């Protein structure tokens, strides 16, 4: 059997791929969790606290009632014919479910949909984008996906021909990008966010990294920007966004804008601007600038990670290229309909005047205020801890502190054959049950590493 | 912009990939559907009938009530605390939803789960497999996926290193396999199902194709078997399955068993046997024979395509290889929880004594009888039509008729630059609104082609 399938004869791209947020430390945490179940009291803590990934409902965040009402009604539409339903569900969740079902051919929430997603739901998403940005959006540009990740994979699959194709990615970066580039056999071209200026992004650094990659024969195809930042929590300033767009235009790069934290801004002096809005404000039209914008139901105040809903909005690509994107989407048939419905809901939540609006608003604001409070609390806690420093948590759901470990800890890590920050994270887990991701897992280097 | 992203500078693997069941004819059908909406009466038919893919709920099949009750309750768990719920939902759907929620950490159906799926749901699936086969199954061997397709992609990604890696696939085949192999840059090694013996599979033909591929330097890694057959509708005989397992064992091949139609057998003299059962019956244990078995909530009597639920059961792989499979799964975080719950339900439906059992049984049998009746009707219709012949529809959801087109039709097709069967399918669509897939889209060759 060993010769039939062994690590030695697997796809080397798979072997090279790393995905720190679900890697060694998380696997160890799952083992400890099982130990807690079979031998309660055998560890110095009673539960595992998973802070390795933005997964708010696993930490007790409650889903927004209106969204779940609509999902339940769409899952079991015969409820809509029962008298008791009106006392169990809000009036606007009932009318919204009816509207949604009316846009689904045959009201069949159990049927494969169009591979880009149900047209009526894409219309709702496009309307939400237009109202957010003040510029029109088109349902034909929307690809609804199972969370944002499949959309990222699709674009990497489309653009990467071989190891000479490069994608500019921020460091530190959400490791989906390095993992997806590795799986598709391309080259990650790093650009470094500047910790000393609150994870600033300078186009002069972009230019230097780009030229350096080009001098090595790398064909750099696209620039990934994560705004608000994952895992660094910064929010881009508007002028900075204009510079980035100009840079892409001058250099012939596609802009891949990861905007899944668009609702998560915690400071008064910063505001989320979509790159679509920036690009249109600069006068570029539908065919002038290749842009992919990602959104997900997993983040924001909704936090519906398990529902796997999201979309990418694709503008500035020619019809023949779009056909190829559609083909890739079609090989997976369609994304899940529950996630599709939820994606339409987060982009079109209850409005003033709707029965649910007050409750929705209270839930939404409560969650966002709690996230902001906790972001500030953890930022302050780190900055008051010896050997730690931490930038302002402006947005997203993460902070990326710098830790100065004592020499002996670094030596102990070396002796154990681990990176110092990975060693620290393992010891933190074993002592407290708290799961974090070492900075090296995000590609962060030396000095500003967790070391 | 053309130089930034154009068809010429896309990944050639994407360009080469074809996916006939959602290809040119379906795209044309979608255009006609829009035309019917904007200009009713402008075509010789009033609706499009999509027969290009097994999508039963799009053709009016109703979902099983019990499944949808449980999904609605899990989507909106606060229903479980309301008195009215007991009059709206069956008692066992309520108790099942409570059981399921109890296995989900924090009852959080909106949280990312373990990348293989929620452990309690995998336990339920393993119990269902064990009860189906009479051999034990292990939750650790189950990877719950968004339908069966992502599991197929995962295995292709794992096994294919370059174009010298081959996968043996039946012809005609469900084009997911050719598409996935093309996207991952491998070689499809065809073996031909024999139309004259009811789409029989001979291991002597397998051997010949394998040797032929090996003589060309292809490292053949795995054998794909689709049982019941897609698109050919045959059901493998037990002895044939033993031969296939022996063949894989002798030749050092992984067996990829697509068993998503396991509930769809329409003839009294045939019975579905899982390859897991066959392999265990032959005395191979957990570590002796590398087997991947695929199941989906999209098919059977459930037909829940839009919910994107399914699983693969992986046995006979070493721990280091399984770690790599887990890593690929983890890069996509997890499959959607609604689909995960549904996968556990179809493998553990209501039992005699449960309140829902009688209704469930009536719905299930009604759907399966209707599918069997329609399979027979369409088989008979084709065999009574001039120029058509059609094998028995033993299982799955398809028939693959042979059509003899007149010379003039073939000439007209040539003049239009189309394969004769594709030309026929387009004309059928334009005359009737019925969407079918030309046999050439399944890789079928010359004589037994739709030509």
Residue in chain B closest to A30 (alpha carbons) equals: B114
Q: Which residues of A touch B260 (CB under 8 A)?
A: none
Query: What's the pLDDT at A64?
Result: 97
CB burial string A295-309: b at 16+ within 10 A, e below: bbbbbbbbbbbbbbb
Query: What's the pLDDT at B145?
Result: 98
What are the residues whose beta carbons fall under 8 Å from the beta carbon of B225, sequence distance 6 or more?
A: B170, B201, B236, B244, B255, B256, B257, B258, B275
How close does chain B come to A271, measured CA to CA in Å? 27
Q: Does B320 touch chain A (CB under 8 A)?
A: yes
Per-residue pLDDT tens for A354-375? 999 999 999 999 999 999 999 9
| Binary contact (A109, B321; C-beta < 8 A) | no
Per-residue pLDDT tens for A75-118? 999 999 999 999 999 999 999 999 999 999 889 999 999 999 99
Q: Which fold has domain B65-110+357-361?
A: Helix Hairpins (1.10.287)
Instruction: Quote the CA–CA distance of A34 and A17 in Å, as a whole number.
Output: 27
Query: What's the pLDDT at B359?
Result: 97
Considering the domain A62-388 in this protein, what is its CATH number? 3.40.640.10
Structurally, at CATH architecture level, domain B7-60+366-448 sits in: Alpha-Beta Complex (3.90)
Per-residue pLDDT tens for A129-180? 999 999 999 999 999 999 999 999 999 999 999 999 999 999 988 889 999 9
Q: Does B15 touch chain A (CB under 8 A)?
A: yes
Of A73, A150, A328, the CB nearest to B14: A328
Q: Does A319 touch chain B (CB under 8 A)?
A: no
Which phi and psi (to 5°) does residue A124 adopt?
A: -65, -40
Per-residue pLDDT tens for A176-228? 999 999 999 999 999 999 888 889 899 999 999 999 999 999 999 999 999 99
pLDDT band, residue A451 (cuts 50/70/90): very low
What would the two tokens of residue B275 be?
Answer: 């390859």
Instruction: Quote the CA–CA distance of B127 and B313 in Å, as a whole number.
Output: 12
**Nearest to residue A264, comparing CAs of A312, A298, A315?**
A298
Three-state DSSP class for residue A372: helix
Q: Which residues of B touch A16 (CB under 8 A)?
A: none
Instruction: Quote the CA–CA distance of B278 and B238 in Å, as a whole number.
Output: 8
Contact A409, A420 (CB under 8 A): yes
Sheet of strand A254-258, all strands in order from the earlier edge strand to the far edge: A142-145, A310-315, A291-296, A254-258, A219-226, A165-171, A187-192
Q: Give the 3-state secondary structure of B243-275.
A: HHHHHHHHHCCEEEEECCCCCCECCCCCCCCCH
Residue carrying structure tokens 């690809």:
A143
Per-residue pLDDT tens for B306-329? 999 999 999 999 999 999 999 999
What would the two tokens of residue A313 be?
Answer: 């909005």
**Per CATH, is A7-47+404-448 categorized as 3.40.30.10?**
no
User: What is the 8-class DSSP label of residue A82?
Assistant: -
Residue in chain B closest to A47 (alpha carbons) equals: B105
Structurally, at CATH architecture level, domain B119-346 sits in: 3-Layer(aba) Sandwich (3.40)
Strands B291-296 and B254-258: parallel
Task: Name the stretches of chain B with pLDDT < 70.
Answer: 1-3, 21-22, 445-451
Contact A72, A66 (CB under 8 A): no
Q: Which residues of A touch B71 (CB under 8 A)?
A: 75-76
Answer left, alpha or beta for residue B433, where phi above 0 means left and psi between -120 and 50 means alpha. left
Strands B219-226 and A310-315: unpaired
| Binary contact (A1, B333; C-beta < 8 A) | no
pLDDT band, residue A449 (cuts 50/70/90): very low
| Binary contact (B15, A65; C-beta < 8 A) | no
Q: Where are the domains of chain B?
A: 7-60+366-448, 65-110+357-361, 119-346
Longest Cα–Cα distance in chain A: 70
Residue in chain A closest to B309 (alpha carbons) equals: A336
pLDDT band, residue A329 (cuts 50/70/90): very high
**Nearest to residue A37, comparing CAs of B411, B119, B249?**
B119
pLDDT band, residue A27 (cuts 50/70/90): confident
Contact B52, B435 (CB under 8 A): yes
Query: What's the pLDDT at B445?
Result: 64
| Binary contact (A17, B331; C-beta < 8 A) | yes
Q: What is the rounded end-to-end Cα distance, in angstroms, of chain B? A: 42
Q: Indicate the average pLDDT of chain A.
A: 93
| pLDDT over 50 at A294, yes or no | yes
Provide ipTM, 2 decimals: 0.93
How close does chain A come to B444, measured CA to CA in Å? 19
Contact A392, A379 (CB under 8 A): yes
Mean pLDDT of A239-246: 96
């Amino acid at each position: 059997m060993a010769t039939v399938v062994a690590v030695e004869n697997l796809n080397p791209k798979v072997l090279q791929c790393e995905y720190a947020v679900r890697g060694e430390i998380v696997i160890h945490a799952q083992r400890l969790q099982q130990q807690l179940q079979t031998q309660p009291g055998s560890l110095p803590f009673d539960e595992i606290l998973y802070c390795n990934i933005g997964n708010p409902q696993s930490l007790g965040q409650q889903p927004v009632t209106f969204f779940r009402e609509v999902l339940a009604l769409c899952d079991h539409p015969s409820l809509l014919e029962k008298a008791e339903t009106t006392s169990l569900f809000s009036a606007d969740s009932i009318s919204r479910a009816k509207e949604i079902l009316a846009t689904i051919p045959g009201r069949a929430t159990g049927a494969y949909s169009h591979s880009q997603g149900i047209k009526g739901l894409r219309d709702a998403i496009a309307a939400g984008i237009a109202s957010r940005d003040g510029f029109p959006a088109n349902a034909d540009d929307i690809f609804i996906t199972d969370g944002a990740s499949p959309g990222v994979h699709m674009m990497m699959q489309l653009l990467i021909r071989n190891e000479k194709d490069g994608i500019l990615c921020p460091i530190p970066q959400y490791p989906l990008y390095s993992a997806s580039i590795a799986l598709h056999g391309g080259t990650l071209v790093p650009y470094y966010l500047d910790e000393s200026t609150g994870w600033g992004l300078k186009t002069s650094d972009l230019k230097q990294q780009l030229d350096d990659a080009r001098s090595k024969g790398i064909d750099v195809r696209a620039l990934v920007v994560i705004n608000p930042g994952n895992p660094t929590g910064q929010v881009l300033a508007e002028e900075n966004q204009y510079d980035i767009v100009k840079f892409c235009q001058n250099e012939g790069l596609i802009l891949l804008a990861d905007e899944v934290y668009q609702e998560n801004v915690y400071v008064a002096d910063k505001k989320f601007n979509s790159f679509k809005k920036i690009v249109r404000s600069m006068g570029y039209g539908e065919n002038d600038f290749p842009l992919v914008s990602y959104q997900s139901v997993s983040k924001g105040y909704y936090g519906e990670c398990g529902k796997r809903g999201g979309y990418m909005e694709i503008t500035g690509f020619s019809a023949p290229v779009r056909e190829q994107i559609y083909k890739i989407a079609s090989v997976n048939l369609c994304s899940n309909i529950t996630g599709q419905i939820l994606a339409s809901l987060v982009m079109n939540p209850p409005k003033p005047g709707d029965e649910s609006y007050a409750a929705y608003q209270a839930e939404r604001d409560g969650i966002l205020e709690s996230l902001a409070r906790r972001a500030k609390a953890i930022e302050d806690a780190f900055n008051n801890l010896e050997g730690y420093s931490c930038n302002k948590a402006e947005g997203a759901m993460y902070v990326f502190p710098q830790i100065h470990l004592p020499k002996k800890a670094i030596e102990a890590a070396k002796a154990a054959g681990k990176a110092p920050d990975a060693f620290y994270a393992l010891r933190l887990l074993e002592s407290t049950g708290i799961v974090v991701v070492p900075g090296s897992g995000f590609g962060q280097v030396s000095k500003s590493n967790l070391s």
